[in-house]
Amino acid sequence: MDLAKRAPLESFVYTVVDPVTGEEVPDMRVTLLSTFSAEWKKAQQQLSRKYKLKGKKHQASPDELLQSRVHMVGSVIADWEGFEENGEPLPCNDENIEHVLNTYNWLLNQLDIALSDDANFLSKG
């Protein structure tokens, strides 16, 4: 295989899946930056500093672990479309990203899984 045919991509658009029906929601999409991106690396460094300050013997609580996931996944959401809550549009901004990922764990899980699949961030050519 020619490795150059699998060049890394900066981002990809994920189509959200309805957690009840298992079907894609075509008008609900999230643009995710790669885990090789500067944004991901910056978020990793922030978490590393945070836990380094707490000391080697600190054991993260379940809530801290969840917030770490929210922080990492949220750091690479570049944009979204089709998001609504209670009939109102949710613009893509830091506050709404944190709210959505904390409130709708099923979506956090979907995006986390999408980020861990390298194939999503490699050219197909």
What does the radius of gyration of the chain's CA atoms come to, in whole angstroms?
A: 16
**The residue count for the chain:** 125
CATH number of the CATH domain containing 71:
3.30.2220
User: What does the pLDDT average to over 34-54?
Assistant: 84
Q: List pLDDT tens digits, range 108-117.
A: 999 999 999 9
Domain that holds residue 76: 3-121
- For the chain, what percent of residues have pLDDT higher than 90? 66
Query: How many domains does the chain divide into?
Result: 1
The DSSP-derived string for 70-114 is HHHHHHTEEEEES-EETTEE---SHHHHHHHHHH-HHHHHHHHHH
Please list, in sequence order, all residues whose beta carbon lies within 8 angstroms of the beta carbon of residue 58, skipping any fewer than 6 positions away: 51
Q: Output the six-digit token pair for 78.
A: 């570049």
What string of H, E and C letters represents the secondary structure of 9-27?
A: CCEEEEEEECCCCCCEEEE
Report the distance separating Cα 97 and Cα 80, nearest Å: 9
**pLDDT, tens digit, 9 for 90 and up, residues 97-111:** 999 999 999 999 999
pLDDT digits (tens, 9 = 90+) for 49-80: 876 766 667 677 788 888 889 999 999 999 99
